[in-house]
Amino acid sequence: MEVRTGGRGFSDITRKVQEVVARSGKKTALCTVFIQHTSASLVIQENADPNVLRDLSGWMGELAPESRAWIHDDEGPDDMPAHARSAITKTSETIPVTDGQLALGTWQGLYVWEHRARPHTRHVVVHVAE
């Protein structure tokens, strides 16, 4: 699955992943989502108030700031912070499937978290197993 991000921020992929689950025809299953990058990651977070995502972004910007004296900066000041932010969020997320639906909580959405400043095309593998 390709996900076009808009630069630093979150892309909700819940519906697209649910569509893959539906197409599999499986009712009780396990859905694994895997992102093939180390400067963007996955996270399951609240999908109700957009300020939650805004706060997460701001806070993560302080936790792994561009202003730190990183050695690796081949692609600019947003390069290494992106790796650091990926390392403490998720590369894979595993979600049980019940009655053909992702068993997410009411307020949970699955997001690609883009950590690079500019838009990127990100590759996400979705695997559904019984």
Longest dimension (CA), the chain: 50
Q: Site residues (CB under 8 A) for a copy of itself?
A: 30, 32, 34-39, 43-46, 49, 51-52, 54-56, 58-59, 63-64, 68, 70-72, 74, 80, 83-84, 86-96, 98, 103-108, 123, 125, 127, 129-130
Residue 74 C-beta: closest distance to a copy of itself, Å: 7
Residue 106 C-beta: closest distance to a copy of itself, Å: 8
Question: Which letter, b or e, does each residue of 95-129 get, where b requires 16 or more Cβ atoms within 10 Å of its Cβ?
Answer: bebeeeebebeeebbbbbbbbbbeebebebebebe
Give CA–CA dist 123/105, Å, rounded: 25
Please identify, using beta-carbon distances, which residue of 18 and 86 lies nearer to a copy of itself: 86
> From its phi and psi, is residue 7 left (phi > 0), alpha (psi between -120 and 50) or beta?
left
Residue 108 C-beta: closest distance to a copy of itself, Å: 6
Please identify, using beta-carbon distances, which residue of 25 and 51 lies nearer to a copy of itself: 51
Please identify, using beta-carbon distances, which residue of 22 and 103 lies nearer to a copy of itself: 103
Residue 44 C-beta: closest distance to a copy of itself, Å: 4
Sequence-ordered list of residues with C-beta below 8 angstroms from that of 106, at least 6 positions apart, any chain: none
Please identify, using beta-carbon distances, which residue of 20 and 22 lies nearer to a copy of itself: 20
